[in-house]
């Protein structure tokens, strides 16, 4: 890991058997979030994701805007999401809603 500006570190991951491949992850050490991920081959960027517009919910930081760029730095995907905290009762209701109908489903075991 290397310093990458105030409250930022750069983590570089590189497979032992493929030294030309790299994944670079920039981490915000204050909020404990990933700010960007870069995939590289032969020193050239193949793709990049940027996480932005963070909100704090229930003690954790969440990116509400995620951008994906190609090797030519063109925006190829944009994800916008919202995050909100739920009370224990709301969580219980959501679980019950998601599991409704499970008794009618055919579940396969390994």
CA 39 vs CA 17, 61, 67: distances in Å: 16, 24, 14
Nearest to 24 by CA among 53, 48, 55, 51: 48
With cut-offs at 50, 70 and 90, classify the pLDDT of residue 107.
confident
User: Tens of pLDDT along 4-57?
Assistant: 788 999 999 999 999 999 999 999 999 999 999 999 999 999 999 999 999 999
Give pLDDT, residue 35: 98
pTM exceeding the 0.75 threshold for the entire prediction? yes
> What pLDDT, in 10s, does the model give residues 49-79?
999 999 999 899 999 999 999 999 999 999 9
Look at residue 6 in the predicted model and tell me its pLDDT.
87
**Residue 110: pLDDT above 70?**
no
Q: Which residue in this structure is represented by tokens 């209701």? A: 93
């Amino acid at each position: 890991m290397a310093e990458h500006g105030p409250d930022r570190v750069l983590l570089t991951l590189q497979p032992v058997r493929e030294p030309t491949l790299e994944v670079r992850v920039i981490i915000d050490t204050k909020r404990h979030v990933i700010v960007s991920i870069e995939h590289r081959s032969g020193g050239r960027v193949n793709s990049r994701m940027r996480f932005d517009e963070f909100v704090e919910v229930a003690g954790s930081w969440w990116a509400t805007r995620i951008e994906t760029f190609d090797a030519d730095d063109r925006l190829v995907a944009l994800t916008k999401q919202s995050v909100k905290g739920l009370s224990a009762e709301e969580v219980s209701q959501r679980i019950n809603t998601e599991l409704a109908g499970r008794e009618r489903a055919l579940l396969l075991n390994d």
